Amino acid sequence: MMRSITRFIAALAIILAAGAPAFADNDTEFGIEDDLTVLGTAGTAADPDLEVKGFTVFGSTLSTPGLQIPAAPGNIFANGYVQVSSGLYVGGNSTFTAYGFFQSTVTMVEGNLKYGSGVAGKVMKSGGDGFVYWADDETGLAALSGTPYYLRMENAAGNSIVDSRLVQNAASTNITLIGGSSLTVTGAMGVDGALNVGGILTSAGYGVFQSTVQFLNNTGDVTNLYFNNGAANAGKVLKAASDGFLYWGQDNDSVLGMGTAYRLQMVNAAGDALENSAFLQNASGSNITMVAGSSLTVNELLVQGDAELLAKISVAGAATFVSSMTVRGNTQFGDTTADIHALNMAPETGVGLSVNSSGTGGNYAAKFYSGGSLAAWIKKK
């Protein structure tokens, strides 16, 4: 039904406008009581779907609208709010007589922000209520004053600058902290050149020296290295602890409490004291004994005098005796039938016992006794 009415009104408008020049105002008014729907969707710039050439008013019209724009063809007056769901492109100047709220980023091409009259050298400052204004860059500061070459700082009121405790020389090669003042460094401080301290240097934390530390003007046994509480530590020496720190200790700390008398001493596992070894020397200094329950492992042993063993001896390698050896207990040679042994010669493969003599006639190679009487023998005729 709406489509039929629209078509009728459109046809009526054509009839009423018949004979009028194109785009001319022939005092004809066209009105629609309800809505107007334009169904075209294929419009172009040359042939739009809806084309209004003249001055256009949207919203409830006033008897005399307070226009700030010319009532000329192509101009639009919106008597109410305007909402744009996507982008808005404005090709000319725009005037806003009330607030403009931008809820996202506002980007302006450099040099295109104009605010008020603007005076060269001014800066934009906050007025405290959110508004900004043009003002001098040095607003709130008094005229510069003070002593030449003194580094300046802001005063307590924040409205001027005054002398600091640092003064630079005229050649710009040195900065001095004036007398009677101190410098506190709360963070790290690096010195690339020499550091000359004319008074006392106090460090509440570590002092790390990555090169040589030299103490000058030492005379005799007096040095410029000073440690507090010297009277209580008189005669002591500096020693290193396991954590790298130095402490005062006795010069003979490592030999105090040497252990049991006549026990030979050795350095303990920590390397800082002596303790008993397994060797015990007699009071006359003529004998060294291994304490009971200990053992001795010898890789190589040379005994040039008599040796008396009160317990067993175990030899894992070859042993050579260049003089007589007396065994007073039971003796066993070998522990398997594959072992080979020899007297006066090298052992032979596959021979349990090899015996060699001089080969002189009448000399025995071996004698065997029973109850003290000769029972058997082997000799050369």
- pTM metric for this prediction: 0.34
Q: Which domain holds residue 150?
A: 123-183
Number of domains in the chain: 3
| Residue 145 to residue 159: CA distance in whole angstroms | 13
User: 368: which strand partners?
Assistant: 376
pLDDT per residue as tens digits for the range 4-52: 545 555 555 555 455 444 455 677 777 888 888 889 899 999 999 998 8
With contact defined as beta carbons under 8 Å apart, do 152 and 146 qualify?
yes
- Going by pLDDT thresholds of 50, 70 and 90, the confidence category of residue 281 is very high
Query: What's the pLDDT at 299?
Result: 79
In a domain, 166, yes or no: yes
74 shares its domain with 137: no
| Residue 89 to residue 125: CA distance in whole angstroms | 30
Higher pLDDT, 6 or 57: 57
In a domain, 339, yes or no: yes
Query: What's the pLDDT at 1?
Result: 45
Query: What's the pLDDT at 20?
Result: 46
- Going by pLDDT thresholds of 50, 70 and 90, the confidence category of residue 141 is low
| Residue 183 to residue 164: CA distance in whole angstroms | 12
15 shares its domain with 74: yes
pLDDT per residue as tens digits for the range 163-211: 999 999 999 999 998 888 888 888 888 888 888 877 777 777 777 888 8
User: 153: which strand partners?
Assistant: 162
Average pLDDT of span 291-308: 78
In a domain, 144, yes or no: yes
DSSP letter at 117 equals S
| Residue 223 to residue 221: CA distance in whole angstroms | 6
In a domain, 179, yes or no: yes
Could you tell me how far CA 248 lies from the centroid of its own chain? 35
In a domain, 176, yes or no: yes
| Residue 63 to residue 72: CA distance in whole angstroms | 18
In a domain, 135, yes or no: yes
Strands annotated E in the chain: 56-59, 76-79, 123-126, 132-135, 150-154, 161-168, 175-177, 237-240, 246-249, 263-267, 274-281, 288-290, 341-343, 353-355, 364-370, 373-379
